């Protein structure tokens, strides 16, 4: 009976977390995509900008994998982690573990939605035009090949490498330079927190049928 109650408590919590992250992530992305031109930047403070960029879908703008292959790989990973969360909820895993896993899968799913549907429902963004909604299927790309919207830029430190530093000497140095989105941050925070606070569970991971 205890596990039955835990399943509905933690299972509903997992669904709620995933849904909330997806809604927040998509609202931010759609607002940026339909109101800003590609490359446009809005200064919030000296260390925080809304900077509209698009990428093929890897975290923090990395682009060294084929887009379609990346989308299929992400779908497989999302499905596997979702199934694992279901198993962990049934097994009565700690709520903390379920919450952090849900953050990771929700973040991955948030970027996956961009890849799946943005190319079908939006016109292409450019430095000169703002993207618009278009009839479904008439957008800038096909299914699974849409670009992921990024917007958060935190140049916490902007300085110049000393001249004596090999190769980089005299060049600008920016920390933190990647542009990312809300989904990326959920994946990163969830993953790091898992490593810090759920090492016991991670050490016992098994995909065998229970």
SS3 107: helix
Model's pTM, two decimal places? 0.87
Q: Is 184 a catalytic residue?
A: yes
pLDDT digits (tens, 9 = 90+) for 99-158: 999 999 999 999 999 999 999 999 999 999 999 999 999 999 999 999 999 999 999 988
Distance separating alpha carbons of residues 93 and 200, to the nearest angstrom: 11
Q: Is 150 a catalytic residue?
A: yes
pLDDT digits (tens, 9 = 90+) for 158-207: 889 888 888 888 888 888 889 999 999 999 999 999 999 999 998 887 65
**What does the pLDDT read at residue 162?**
87
Distance separating alpha carbons of residues 123 and 188, to the nearest angstrom: 30
Distance separating alpha carbons of residues 170 and 150, to the nearest angstrom: 29
Q: Is the Cβ–Cβ distance between 106 and 18 less than 8 Å? A: yes
**What does the pLDDT read at residue 144?**
92
Residue 129: CB atoms within 10 A of its CB come to: 11
SS3 202: helix
Burial class (CB in 10 A: 0-12, 13-18, 19+), 49: middle
Distance separating alpha carbons of residues 107 and 53, to the nearest angstrom: 18
**What does the pLDDT read at residue 207?**
57
**What does the pLDDT read at residue 159?**
86
pLDDT digits (tens, 9 = 90+) for 51-76: 999 987 555 445 556 677 888 888 99
Average confidence (pLDDT) over 4-33: 88
Confidence check: pLDDT of 35 > 70: yes
Q: How confident is the model at residue 210 (pLDDT cuts 50, 70, 90)?
A: very low
Average confidence (pLDDT) over 79-85: 96
* DSSP character string of 1-27: -HHHHHHHHHHHHHHHHHHHHHHHHHH
Most confident of 9-23, 24-38, 193-207: 24-38
């Amino acid at each position: 009976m205890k596990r039955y109650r835990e399943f509905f408590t933690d299972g509903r919590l997992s669904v709620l977390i995933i849904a909330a992250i997806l809604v927040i992530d998509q609202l931010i992305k759609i607002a940026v995509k339909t109101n800003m031109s590609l490359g446009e930047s809005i200064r919030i403070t000296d260390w925080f900008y809304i900077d509209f960029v698009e990428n093929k879908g890897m975290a923090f703008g990395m682009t060294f994998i084929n887009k379609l292959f990346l989308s299929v790989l992400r779908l497989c990973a999302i499905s596997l982690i979702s199934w694992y969360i279901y198993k962990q909820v049934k097994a009565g895993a700690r709520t903390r573990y379920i919450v952090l896993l849900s953050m990771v899968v929700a973040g991955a799913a948030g970027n996956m939605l961009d890849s799946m549907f943005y190319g079908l429902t939006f016109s292409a963004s450019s430095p000169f035009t703002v993207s618009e909604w278009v009839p479904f299927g008439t957008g800038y790309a096909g299914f699974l090949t849409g670009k992921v919207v990024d917007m958060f830029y935190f140049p916490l430190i902007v300085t110049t490498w000393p001249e004596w530093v090999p190769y980089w000497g005299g060049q600008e140095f920016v920390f933190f330079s990647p542009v990312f989105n809300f989904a990326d941050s959920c994946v990163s925070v969830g993953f790091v927190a898992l490593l810090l606070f759920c090492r016991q569970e991670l050490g016992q991971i098994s995909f065998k049928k229970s």
